[in-house]
C-alpha cells in the first residue's frame, strides 16, 4: 500500500508476521547490488499456466530484451528454501546498458507430484521484501496453496536483497523516524522540511542512477522477466496492499500474460495523493476507535472506561511524549514519532491489539520500551540497526511514482479537513503530504491508466474496516479492471486472505488451485 505519510510505513503481512515473534534471516542472499474472457463470473474457470514452457512463453516484448527473458534461474540452497538472482536492465529503454540484480526465493511445493506451477507473491510496502514473505509461507499461506504451488517471492528493484536504494545512515534514519511528524510551531515545521528535503536528496546522492529506476512500472516489467525465467506461460500472482498496485500495473502492461491473479487489500491507482491520504486517515481512525471499544469492553483497559475518554487519553499521551520522551531501558528514548508508529503498528491485525494494550499500560507508567519495540519491528530495526531498507525504499518508490508534495506553508490550512477525517491522527496525515519535498530523482517511464483490458478474471479483495487500504479502494479497483471480481471481507484489519475468514480463504484457494472464479460481489 502506498502512503504519503512518512512514518506510517505499511509493511502489510510482513509486519504482522514479525509481530507474532517469527524472525527470519534469509541465508544465501547478501545485500547490494491463460487466457480467458475479459469478464469475471461465478463458475468460470481460468486455466493453469503451462510450465514446460509453451511456445512463445519466453518471447520478450522487444527483441533487445531476449537475453533477459531466456535466462535460466540458478537455484541454490538457502536454509530450507532455494535462492537465486535474476538479472534485469536498470533501464528497459537501454537493455544493453547497466544491469541490476533481483533477489528471488522459492519454497518448493509440498506435493511435487500435484504441483501446478509457481505462485509469485508480494507483501506490499512498497519496500517490504518479498523473499521474506515467501520464506514465511508456512504462516502467510494456507496448506492448499503451499502444497500445489512453489511459493516464489522477490525483492522488487531498489528493495531488500536486490540492488537496493540507500538514502541515509542508520543513525540519521533513527532521528528521522523519531521526529515529530506533526510540527507544533514554525521552528519544528522548518526542521521537518529540512529533514525531508535532506532525506530525499540523499536517495539520489547515495543511490545514483538506481534512484531514477525504481518505479512500479519497472518493477512490473521485472515480474514478466521473472515469469519467463520460471518457465511459466502466464503469471500466477497474489499481491497484498501495494502489491495490488504492482499486480494491476503488470496486468495493464501484459494482459495476455495474466493467469490466476489475486489482489488483496486493494489500492485505487486513480486517487490523488490528497485523496489517498485522507482515505487512510479515515481508515486508521476507524481502526483506533474499534480498538478502543474492544479495549474498554474487555475491562481493565489502560485507556479508561469509554471510547471518547480513551481516545482523549491517547491524544494527551502523544502530547506528553512530544514534550518529554520516555525511557526505554536502552540508549534510545521513545520519542513522539516512535510512539505514534508503535500505536499504529498493531492496528493492522486485530489479533495484535493485545500488544498495544500491554505497550500502553507500560507507557502510561513511564516505560516506553514496548512501544519502542513495536515501532522498531514496524520499521525493520533490529538491535544492531535496520534489517532492510524498507523505511527508505517506500519513499524512494512512492515519490518516483508521484513526486507531488504540498508546501509546508499550505499544510496548516488543511489540518482541519484531516482532523475531521481523523481526530486522533489527522494532523499527522496532513503533514505527511510533505513527504516528497526535495525529490531529485526523475522517472523515465509514464504511469499508465489501468483497466487491464483483455485479461482473464482478476480477484480483488477488500475488508470493510481495513485501516491502511480502505474498502472503497477495493470497490474502485474492481470496477476499474475490465475483468475485476470483488470479494468483500466484513471485519477489521488489513487484507482478507488467511486471517480467519473461511469464506475468503476458500474462494481464493478454489480460484488459485482449480481456476474456479467466484461470484462477483461475494460477501464474506
Give the pLDDT mean for 355-370: 96
* 338 CB-contact burial (10 Å; exposed 0-12 / middle 13-18 / buried 19+): buried
Reduced to 3 DSSP states, what percent helix, strand and coil does the chain have, rounded to the nearest 5? 45, 15, 40
Confidence of residue 20 (pLDDT cuts 50, 70, 90): very low
Exposed, middle or buried by CB within 10 Å (0-12, 13-18, 19+), for 92?
Answer: buried
> Do 12 and 265 meet the contact criterion of CB atoms below 8 Å apart?
yes
Q: Which residue has the higher pLDDT, 44 or 332?
A: 332
Task: Give tens-digit pLDDT for 63-110.
Answer: 999 999 999 999 999 989 999 999 999 999 999 999 999 999 999 999
> Quick one: 463 exposed, middle or buried, by C-beta within 10 A (0-12, 13-18, 19+)?
buried
**Domains contained in the chain, CATH given:** 37-165+214-271+458-523 (3.40.50.1820), 170-209+273-434 (no CATH)
pLDDT band at residue 43 under the 50/70/90 scheme: low
CA dihedral 74, 77, 82, 84 (to 10 degrees): -40
CB-CB contact of 129 with 25 (8 Å) = no
Is the CA virtual torsion 202, 30, 232, 43 positive or negative?
Answer: negative
What SS3 class is residue 340? helix
pLDDT at site 54 = 58
Given a cut of 90, whether residue 46 has pLDDT beyond it is: no
Over residues 179-235, the pLDDT tens digits come to 999 998 899 889 889 989 999 999 999 999 999 999 999 999 999 999 999 999 999
Q: What is the mean pLDDT of residues 409-427?
A: 95
Contact 306, 295 (CB under 8 A): no
Q: Which three cell numbers stand for residue 50?
A: 503451462
Residues involved in catalysis: 241, 466, 494
Cell of 25: 534471516
Pairwise CA distance, residues 420 & 345, whole Å: 22
- Does this model's pTM top 0.75? My answer is yes
| The pLDDT of residue 61 | 87
Q: What is the pLDDT of residue 395?
A: 92
Whose cell is 488489513? That residue is 494
Other CB atoms within 10 A of residue 63 CB: 10
Q: Which cell numbers hold the place of 252?
A: 495493464
Overall size of the chain counted in residues: 524
Q: How far apart are CA 168 and CA 198, in angstroms?
A: 9
Spatial distance between the Cα atoms of 238 and 258, rounded to a whole number of angstroms: 12
**Model confidence band, residue 55 (pLDDT cutoffs 50, 70, 90):** low
What integer is the mean pLDDT of 499-507? Answer: 97
Residue 50 has pLDDT above 70, yes or no: no
Q: Which of 390, 349, 358 is nearest to 19 (CA)?
A: 349
10 Å Cβ neighbour count for 231? 18
Work out the average pLDDT over 127-156.
Answer: 96
pLDDT of res. 58? 74
Q: How far apart are CA 200 and CA 397, in angstroms?
A: 11
Report percent pLDDT > 70 for the chain: 89
3-state secondary structure of 26: coil
Lowest mean pLDDT among 60-64, 79-83, 276-280, 515-519: 60-64
> Is the confidence at residue 15, as pLDDT, over 80?
no
Q: In this predicted model, which residue has the larger pLDDT, 9 or 489? A: 489
CA nearest neighbour of 175 among 192, 187, 158: 192
Instruction: Return d(Cα 355, Cα 259) in angstroms, integer.
Output: 39
**Residue 118: pLDDT over 60:** yes
Amino acid at each position: 500500500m502506498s502512503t504519503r505519510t512518512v512514518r506510517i510505513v505499511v509493511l502489510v503481512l510482513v509486519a504482522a508476521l514479525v509481530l507474532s515473534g517469527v524472525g527470519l534471516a534469509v541465508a544465501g542472499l547478501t545485500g547490494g547490488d491463460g487466457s480467458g474472457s475479459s469478464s469475471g463470473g461465478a463458475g468460470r474457470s481460468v486455466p493453469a499456466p503451462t510450465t514446460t514452457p509453451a511456445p512463445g512463453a519466453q518471447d520478450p516484448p522487444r527483441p533487445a530484451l531476449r537475453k533477459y527473458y531466456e535466462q535460466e534461474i540458478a537455484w541454490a540452497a538457502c536454509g530450507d528454501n532455494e535462492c537465486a538472482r535474476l538479472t534485469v536492465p536498470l533501464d528497459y529503454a537501454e537493455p544493453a546498458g547497466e544491469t541490476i540484480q533481483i533477489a528471488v526465493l522459492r519454497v518448493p511445493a509440498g506435493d511435487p507430484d500435484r504441483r501446478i506451477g509457481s505462485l509469485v507473491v508480494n507483501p506490499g510496502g512498497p519496500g517490504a521484501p518479498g523473499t521474506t514473505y515467501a520464506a514465511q509461507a508456512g504462516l502467510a499461506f494456507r496448506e492448499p496453496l503451499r502444497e500445489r504451488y512453489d511459493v516464489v517471492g522477490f525483492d522488487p528493484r531498489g528493495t531488500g536483497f536486490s540492488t537496493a536504494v540507500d538514502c541515509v545512515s542508520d543513525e540519521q534514519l533513527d532521528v528521522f523516524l523519531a521526529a515529530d511528524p506533526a510540527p507544533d510551531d514554525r521552528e519544528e515545521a522548518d526542521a521537518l522540511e529540512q529533514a525531508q528535503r535532506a532525506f530525499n536528496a540523499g536517495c539520489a546522492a547515495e543511490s545514483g542512477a538506481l534512484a531514477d529506476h525504481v518505479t512500479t512500472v519497472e518493477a512490473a516489467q521485472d515480474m514478466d522477466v521473472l515469469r519467463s525465467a520460471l518457465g511459466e506461460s502466464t503469471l500466477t500472482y497474489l499481491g497484498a496492499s501495494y502489491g495490488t498496485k504492482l499486480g494491476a500495473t503488470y496486468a495493464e502492461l501484459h494482459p495476455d500474460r495474466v493467469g490466476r491473479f489475486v489482489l488483496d487489500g486493494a489500492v485505487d491507482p486513480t486517487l490523488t495523493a490528497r485523496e489517498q491520504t485522507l482515505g487512510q486517515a479515515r481508515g486508521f481512525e476507524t481502526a483506533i476507535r474499534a480498538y478502543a471499544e474492544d479495549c474498554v469492553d474487555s475491562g481493565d483497559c489502560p485507556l479508561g472506561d469509554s471510547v471518547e475518554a480513551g481516545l482523549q487519553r491517547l491524544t494527551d499521551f502523544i502530547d506528553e511524549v512530544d514534550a518529554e520522551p520516555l525511557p526505554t531501558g536502552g540508549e534510545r528514548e521513545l520519542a513522539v514519532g516512535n510512539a505514534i508508529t508503535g500505536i499504529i503498528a498493531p492496528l493492522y491485525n486485530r489479533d495484535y491489539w493485545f500488544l498495544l494494550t500491554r505497550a500502553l499500560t507500560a507507557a502510561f507508567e513511564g516505560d516506553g520500551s514496548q512501544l519502542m519495540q513495536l515501532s522498531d519491528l514496524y520499521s525493520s530495526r533490529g538491535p544492531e540497526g535496520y534489517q532492510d531498507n524498507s523505511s527508505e525504499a517506500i519513499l524512494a518508490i512512492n515519490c518516483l511514482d508521484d513526486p507531488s508534495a504540498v508546501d509546508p506553508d499550505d499544510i496548516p490550512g488543511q489540518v482541519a479537513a484531516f482532523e475531521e477525517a481523523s481526530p486522533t491522527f489527522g494532523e499527522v496525515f496532513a503533514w505527511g503530504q510533505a513527504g516528497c519535498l526535495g525529490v531529485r530523482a526523475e522517472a523515465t517511464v509514464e504511469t499508465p491508466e489501468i483497466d487491464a483490458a483483455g485479461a482473464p478474471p482478476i480477484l480483488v479483495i477488500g475488508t470493510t474496516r481495513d485501516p491502511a487500504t480502505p474498502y472503497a479502494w477495493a470497490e474502485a479497483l474492481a470496477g476499474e479492471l475490465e475483468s475485476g471480481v470483488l470479494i468483500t471481507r466484513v471485519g477489521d484489519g488489513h487484507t482478507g486472505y488467511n486471517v480467519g475468514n473461511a469464506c475468503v480463504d476458500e474462494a481464493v484457494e478454489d480460484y488459485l488451485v482449480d481456476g474456479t472464479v467466484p461470484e462477483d460481489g461475494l460477501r464474506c
